[in-house]
Each structure stands twice: as C-alpha cells, then as structure tokens.
Chain A
Amino acid sequence: MNETPLIPAGVKRCSKWQFSLWMAAATAVLLWGVYAMFLIWYKGLNQTNMNDAYGFALWIWADLAIIAIGGGAFFSGFLTYIIGKKELKNIINFAVIIGFICYSCALLILAIDIGQPLRGWFIFWHANVHSMLTEVAFCLSCYFAVLTVEFIPLILENPKLDKKPFLHHLSHNMHGIMAIFAATGVFLSFFHQGSLGGVAGVLYGRPFAFREHIFIWPFTFFLFTWSAAACGPCFTILVTKITEMITRKKLVKDNVIQLFAKISGWMIITYIIAKTIDTIYWAFVTAPGMGFTLMDFYNDSTYNIGLLFAEIVICGFIPGLILITKRGRENSFLLMTAVILAVIGVCLNRWVMVLQVMAVPLFSFNDWYTYMPSWQEVATTILPVAYGIIVISLAYRYLPVFPQEKELNPID
C-alpha cells in the first residue's frame, strides 16, 4: 500500500519497514498487558495481590499518576484559549494527544480495577452521591469525551480525510468552538483532580492522609489540582523532547518550550510552597491533635523521612527553581533534569497519598502493611505505556501534530 497520500505534505517520515518494526515491538508489550487484562476479567481480582489492607493498590497509583501528568492538556488549553497565550498553539495538539492517552488509560485501569467492567455503567445510573469517587468518575468520563472532541479535528486533518468536504468543514467548525470545549475541560479537570486529592484528605480515620478543610474541601483537594497544572506541562515537554530525540528532528521552537517551562516553573514553585505549609501545619498541628508525631508516619525502612524530602525538596523546589530562572530553562540538560524531577515528584506524591496511606499501621500492635503487585498488575500498568507509544507514533506519522515541523525541518 502506498502511504504517501496519508502522510502530511512537506514532512519526512521513516520508511514503512522501520515504522512496522517499531510498532511491532510496542504491540508485543501491549499484547502482554492485554493478556493480563483478560486474565483479570476472566478469573477475577484474585489475579492481583491486593488484600484487606490494600484495597487500592498499584493501579490506583498509576491511575492518579497518569491523571496528574495528563494535566498538561487542560492547563495548556486554559493558557491558550482562555488566557490567550497564542504561542502555545504550537504544542497544544501534542498536549491534547498526551491527555487523550492518559485519560483513556485512566478509564481502562478503572475498567480493570472494578473487576466487572460490564457493570461500569452502574456508577452513572446508581450513583452514590456521597462519594468523591463518583464525582471523579463523572468528571473523568466527561473530560475524556472533551479530549476526544479536541482530538477529532486533528485526526480530520489527515490529508486523505481532509479531502472529504464534510470532514474538512467539520474539522474547521470544531476548531472554531474549541474555546468552549477547553473551558469545559478546565472546569471538569479542576473538580476531578481536586476530588482525587479530596478522597485522601477526608479520611478522618487515617491521620496520615487527613487534612484541614475549607468548607467540605480538604487542602489536598486544592493541592492535587495545583500539582497537576504545575507538573502536567512538564510531562508534555518531556514527551516532546523524547519524540524529538527519537525522530532526530526539532519539532517545537525553543520559545514555545521556554514559555511553557516558565509557566510550569512558577506553578511548581507556588505549589511546593503551599505543599510545604500544608505539611508543616499537618505535622505540627493536625497530626499531634490526633495523637501522633510526624515520625510515627516515617519509621519504616521503606517509608522513611527521605520520601518527604525527595518529594518536597528534590522533586519540588529544585525543578521549580530551575524552571523559573532563564539560565536554567535555556540549558537543555537542566531543563530536562527539571521536567524529569517534576514528573517524578508528582508521581511520588500520588504514591504517598495512595500507598503510604494504606501502609501505615491501623492498630498499635500491627507492623507496617506490605504489598507486592502481581505480574498481572504490573503488566496492566505497563500496558498504557505501550498504548501511548502506539498512539503517539501513529499520530506523529499521519497527522500534522506539530505546526512548526515543516518550517524547522525543510525538505530539500
């Protein structure tokens, strides 16, 4: 089959053989995950190592982490369409694709986690309106619909599809009202990112997670939204840089990356200051008020005080300070270091707020609860990575994802 009509004009792509080999490797990993997924659906949740202590486990951490790092989509939409940072139009397509991948994976993980995906619709029809997770499920599903709507016009710009008059007009008209979808996405993201944090913060019986409230919302509600908006753009930058490395092409101009990194840096630094204040208040007021000292929560060999230091200082203040300084952002090594640290930081935060919460002993005579995921859990957690590679590869090959690519890589 001749691929040329499918590939956007004016750009160069690798040969079909190279692309097929690359896709075969990613598909093999994907199939491993799909096999594990079907085992879980067929045989049940006994395929996992979850237990009475760990009702939430690796999947829920992966779910929260990919939702956080997928936050680059809603935040770049907010900056582009609502604040008016027009430069970011050169990266927003890619941010939407990354968001689409992250949220589709989040929904897939939930479908695996509930054990009986055929009953997934119960959450909408028999909604428990006292559960923050109901709000999360509503917002996740709606926001995934928004991301799909944002992704469709880009798919319709494929040269072959763009020749169809109706699809061409549809793409144009959807672009015309994209600000409405972007605003809806921001609204939905604020609530589901926040409610994921709220789930931990309202656990009165778990003093490690419990936080003070503003009305019904614990501080973790705001910190989760803030951290996703801060670190999501870092993940978008990181994946853009990895794509540039693999394709050996410059795809986005430096000024776009610099602007995105600068905004992200200020978001990280303000977030981490707020997080530090929250942690200090919790350590010296909230936890002692419930009969605990700070070190009661960090006296395990795995869950020690180094985790808190890593999350706040190494993966918080350091990337934030690098990204807010011009010299830091302009140095490619420091930029990469900062975005990697920021992504690790937000993933570590979700790990602590999901798994460490479960690990802390509930009774004075108990030791820390331990948990090791089964291979099925690991495979289904790696599945989204392979799926993401496949979607990005297909999108990059057949869609005009990067508007500046032609200008930056002229074909002789």
Chain B
Amino acid sequence: MFPFCFEWSWDLGHIVFMGGLWYALSIIGAGLTFAIVKSVFDCYGGHDDPDHGHH
C-alpha cells in the first residue's frame, strides 16, 4: 500500500507497518543492485578474477 491509495491514512499504524516494509525491501533491493552493478563493472571493466575462497 502506498500513501496515494484510498485506504491510506497518516496514522502511526500505517507509518510503522508500511514504513518497515519499504525499509526492509529498500535494503534488499539496494544490496542486490549494488552486487549486480559491481559485478557488471568487475566483469566488463577488466577487473581481475576474484579467488574462489568465498567462505
């Protein structure tokens, strides 16, 4: 639900619940975007192959 929806009201419940949801989704989205963009740069920007020791 977004603030432009007819059901929306500017009360604490909507702000906390929906704010929390968007906050979590933003972190996941930003993290994924960062990893994908960095991989594109690493891949096509001639970056050395990272080793396989991920763990």
The residues of A with any CB-CB pair to B shorter than 8 Å are 89-90, 93, 124-127, 129-130, 134-135, 138-139, 142, 145-146, 149, 153, 157, 162, 165-166, 168-177, 180-181, 184, 187-188, 191, 403
Q: Which residues on B sit within 8 Å (CB–CB) of A127?
A: 1, 17-18
Q: Which residues on A sit within 8 Å (CB–CB) of B14?
A: 129
Q: Which residues on B sit within 8 Å (CB–CB) of A168?
A: 49-50
Q: Which residue of A lies closest to B29 (CB)?
A: A145
The residues of B with any CB-CB pair to A shorter than 8 Å are 1, 5, 7, 11, 13-14, 16-18, 20-21, 24-25, 27-28, 31-32, 34-36, 38-40, 42-43, 47, 49-50, 52, 54-55
Pairs A-B, 7 closest by C-beta atoms: A129-B13, A169-B39, A170-B39, A173-B35, A169-B42, A142-B24, A172-B50
B35 engages A174 (CB within 8 Å): yes
B50 CB, nearest partner CB in chain A, Å: 4
Q: Which residues on A sit within 8 Å (CB–CB) of B43?
A: 165-166, 169
The winner among A125, A146, A149, A174 for most chain B CB atoms within 10 A is: A174
Number of cross-chain contacts by CB at 8 Å: 84
B31 engages A124 (CB within 8 Å): no
B18 engages A181 (CB within 8 Å): no
Interface of B is mostly: helix
Q: Which residue of B lies closest to A127 (CB)?
A: B1
Measured CA separation A176–B49 after assembly (Å): 14
Contacts A146-B28, A172-B39 supplied; 17 other A-B pairs, CB < 8 Å: A126-B7, A127-B18, A129-B13, A129-B14, A138-B21, A142-B21, A142-B28, A153-B54, A165-B43, A170-B35, A170-B39, A177-B31, A177-B34, A181-B28, A184-B24, A184-B27, A184-B28
Q: Which residues on B sit within 8 Å (CB–CB) of A130?
A: 13
Measured CA separation A157–B17 after assembly (Å): 36
Q: Which residue of A lies closest to B42 (CB)?
A: A169
Measured CA separation A308–B32 after assembly (Å): 45
Measured CA separation A180–B5 after assembly (Å): 31
Contacts A166-B43, A177-B35 given: A172-B54 contact, CB under 8 Å?
A: yes
B25 engages A142 (CB within 8 Å): yes
A175 engages B17 (CB within 8 Å): no
A166 engages B31 (CB within 8 Å): no
A55 CB, nearest partner CB in chain B, Å: 23
Measured CA separation A187–B38 after assembly (Å): 26
Q: Which residues on A sit within 8 Å (CB–CB) of B16?
A: 129
Q: List 21 A-B contacts (CB under 8 A).
A: A90-B55, A124-B1, A124-B21, A125-B1, A125-B5, A126-B7, A129-B18, A135-B17, A138-B21, A145-B25, A165-B43, A166-B40, A168-B49, A168-B50, A169-B47, A172-B42, A173-B39, A174-B35, A177-B35, A180-B31, A184-B28
- Of the candidates A90, A172, A181, A191, the one whose C-beta lies within 8 Å of that of B31 is A181
Measured CA separation A169–B9 after assembly (Å): 44
A134 engages B1 (CB within 8 Å): no
B42 CB, nearest partner CB in chain A, Å: 4
Measured CA separation A181–B26 after assembly (Å): 11
Q: Which residues on B sit within 8 Å (CB–CB) of A90?
A: 55
The winner among A173, A176, A177 for most chain B CB atoms within 10 A is: A173
Contacts A126-B1, A180-B31, A184-B24 given: A173-B42 contact, CB under 8 Å?
A: yes
A187 engages B17 (CB within 8 Å): no
Q: Which residues on A sit within 8 Å (CB–CB) of B5?
A: 125
A149 engages B32 (CB within 8 Å): yes
Q: Which residue of B lies closest to A167 (CB)?
A: B39
Measured CA separation A345–B6 after assembly (Å): 45
A149 engages B28 (CB within 8 Å): yes
Q: Which residues on A sit within 8 Å (CB–CB) of B40?
A: 166
Q: Which residues on A sit within 8 Å (CB–CB) of B31?
A: 149, 177, 180-181, 184
Q: Which residues on B sit within 8 Å (CB–CB) of A180?
A: 27, 31
B28 engages A145 (CB within 8 Å): yes
B25 engages A175 (CB within 8 Å): no
Measured CA separation A124–B25 after assembly (Å): 12
Q: Which residues on A sit within 8 Å (CB–CB) of B39?
A: 166, 169-170, 172-173
Measured CA separation A138–B25 after assembly (Å): 10
Q: Which residue of B lies closest to A171 (CB)?
A: B54
Q: Which residues on A sit within 8 Å (CB–CB) of B20?
A: 135, 138, 191
B54 engages A157 (CB within 8 Å): yes
